[in-house]
């Protein structure tokens, strides 16, 4: 899972500042690395490196990022490694010079890599599927053999990308002297949203992963880019949008609404906040049916993602709600940290208890989901250490039993706390007195109420049904093997702050 943004202004020459602000707002989508590339007078200016946005970019970097258009990326590694060489945006010089940022994960990377080498005669320099996606697009664009391109050329190239590429991808690219573009996979698994900001000084256009980035910077939402659609914004501000496949079907990732997206975002016309409210309501209904709620003294969310669901759950059950766990805001999101040891180490650094809210009480802890169980187990123990009488646990999402292959770092089902365990065994493993999960049908209902036109969601990590219809057991075993052979080490690579020259006008 990553965050992407592209901005084009018809007048402003300091667009990098706005991209920086947008990436800061999207920081929750990736905390491993960040990058910005801008274009000015036919040249690219790039800065990218491992680290948080605020640490990657200093004043000296921002002053060198010239131009009225640019793209940015925050990275959470799922394919490839965490090395500087794989920090985005990526760049190819042919044709025209293209920079590119991608959110998602491809499922036919090996086939594409071989095709690019043998048929397209293109060199891939990293293990990143994002570089492969860029080169597939660039190869299709190069086949036109035109000195200057237009929006139809980009649309045709995206159409060919859809025919060759499988998996999840929301992508943003830029061609100097021409403009920016973006497109979304035929299932719309990963989000992409278009907005516009009109000021006295001119008009700015933005493409971003979440609406919160646009709203926070004063943009008016124009539309979600639909599955299979592409959008082109040329350098004078003309917008062109076209459907580039006949096989488009809305199947957005439901885990965006459970965990990844910010609650103040709206994705595909679905409010993340209201979806999580409904998750709390449905969970309350299930607890009312299956538990004696008189045994619950207080409901405490595990911050931050579960707060909305927990608050509504407490309201519906008429049980006291308390912020008994305090989060250290300077610790990264534990789920998206690479490496199980690092996750384990960070939980107690990330959270601390208010003992008064736990001592001699029956506590219901609420989390958005339980994946590896590392955090859950430690928090249950923290509650007991704080004096809790009994510790109950509720998950706003169903049981996670299957790998997600579309951009969420849960490649091996053997890592899951639910692997080869039933609910009672999971409960015992995390040390809770009782455990309850949201039902999948209820979760789908909670999200679908925001947009009834969407009838299908990617729920593969809950039900093992993959919307791209190309995932079998052999594939899952293969990625598990690759995962076991990849430690995601930070390799010693060349400095990723650079200036790239290009003569395209």
**What burial class does residue 437 get, using C-beta atoms within 10 Å of its C-beta: 0-12 exposed, 13-18 middle, 19+ buried?**
buried
**Helical ranges in 88-165 per DSSP H:** 109-118, 129-142, 151-164
**Annotation says 253 is catalytic:** no
Beta carbons of 179 and 188 less than 8 angstroms apart: no
CB 79 within 8 A of CB 128: yes
Q: Tokens in use for 477?
A: 């075993």
Inter-residue contact 1 to 260 (CB < 8 Å): yes
Exactly one of 2, 244, 427, 461 is catalytic; name it.
2
User: What 3-state class would DSSP assign to 470?
Assistant: coil
Query: Which positions make up the binding site?
Result: 305, 367-368
Q: How many CA atoms lie within 13 A of 228 on its CB side?
A: 16
Q: Buried b / exposed e across 454-490, counting CB within 10 Å, b at 16+?
A: bebbbbbbbeeebbbeebeeeebeebbeebeeeebee
Cβ 149 vs Cβ 175: under 8 Å:
yes
Pairing type for strands 3-9 and 69-75 reads antiparallel
* Residue list for the binding site for Mg(2+): 305, 367-368
Residues annotated as catalytic are 2
């Amino acid at each position: 899972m990553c965050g992407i943004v592209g901005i084009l202004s018809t007048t402003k020459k300091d667009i990098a500042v706005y991209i920086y602000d947008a990436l800061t707002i999207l920081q929750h989508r990736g905390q491993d690395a960040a990058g910005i590339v801008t274009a000015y007078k036919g040249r690219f200016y790039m800065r990218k490196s491992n680290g948080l946005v605020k640490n990657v970019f200093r004043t000296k970097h921002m002053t060198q990022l010239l131009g009225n258009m640019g793209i940015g990326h925050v990275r959470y590694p799922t394919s490839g490694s965490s090395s500087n060489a794989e920090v985005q945006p990526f760049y190819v010089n042919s044709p025209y010079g293209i920079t590119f940022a991608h959110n998602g994960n491809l499922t036919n990377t090996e086939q594409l890599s071989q095709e690019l080498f043998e048929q397209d005669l293109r060199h891939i320099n990293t293990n990143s599927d994002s570089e492969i996606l860029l080169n597939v697009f660039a190869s299709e664009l190069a086949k036109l053999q035109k000195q200057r391109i237009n929006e139809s050329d980009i649309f045709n190239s995206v159409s060919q990308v859809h025919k060759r590429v499988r998996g999840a991808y929301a992508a943003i690219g830029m061609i100097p002297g021409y403009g920016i573009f973006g497109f979304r996979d035929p299932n719309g698994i990963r989000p992409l949203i278009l907005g516009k900001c009109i000021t006295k000084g001119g008009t700015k256009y933005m493409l971003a992963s979440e609406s919160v980035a646009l709203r926070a910077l004063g943009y008016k939402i124009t539309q979600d880019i639909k599955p299979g659609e592409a959008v082109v914004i040329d350098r004078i501000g003309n917008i062109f949008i076209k459907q580039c496949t006949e096989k488009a079907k809305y199947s957005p990732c439901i885990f965006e609404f459970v965990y990844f997206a910010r609650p103040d975002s709206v994705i595909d016309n679905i409010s993340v906040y209201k979806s999580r409210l409904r998750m709390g309501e449905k969970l309350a209904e299930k607890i009312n049916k299956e538990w004696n709620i008189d045994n619950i003294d207080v409901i405490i969310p595990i911050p931050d993602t579960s707060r909305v669901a927990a608050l509504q759950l407490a309201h519906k059950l008429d049980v006291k709600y308390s912020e008994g766990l305090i989060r250290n805001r300077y610790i990264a999101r534990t789920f998206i940290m690479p490496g199980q040891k690092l996750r384990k180490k960070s939980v107690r650094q990330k959270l601390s208890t208010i003992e008064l809210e736990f001592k001699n009480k029956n506590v219901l802890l609420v989390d958005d989901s339980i994946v590896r169980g590392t955090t859950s187990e430690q928090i249950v123990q923290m509650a007991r250490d704080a004096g809790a009488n009994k510790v109950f646990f509720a998950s706003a999402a169903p049981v996670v039993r299957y790998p997600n292959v579309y951009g969420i770092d849960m490649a091996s089902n053997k890592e899951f706390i639910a692997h080869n365990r039933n609910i009672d065994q999971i409960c015992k493993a995390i040390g809770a007195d009782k455990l309850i999960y949201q039902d999948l049908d209820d979760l789908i209902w909670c999200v679908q109420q925001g947009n009834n036109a969407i009838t299908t969601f990617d729920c593969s990590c809950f039900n093992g049904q993959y919307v791209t219809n190309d995932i079998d057991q052999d594939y899952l075993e293969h990625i598990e093997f690759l995962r076991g052979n990849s430690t995601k080490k930070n390799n010693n690579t060349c400095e990723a702050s650079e200036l790239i020259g290009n003569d395209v006008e």
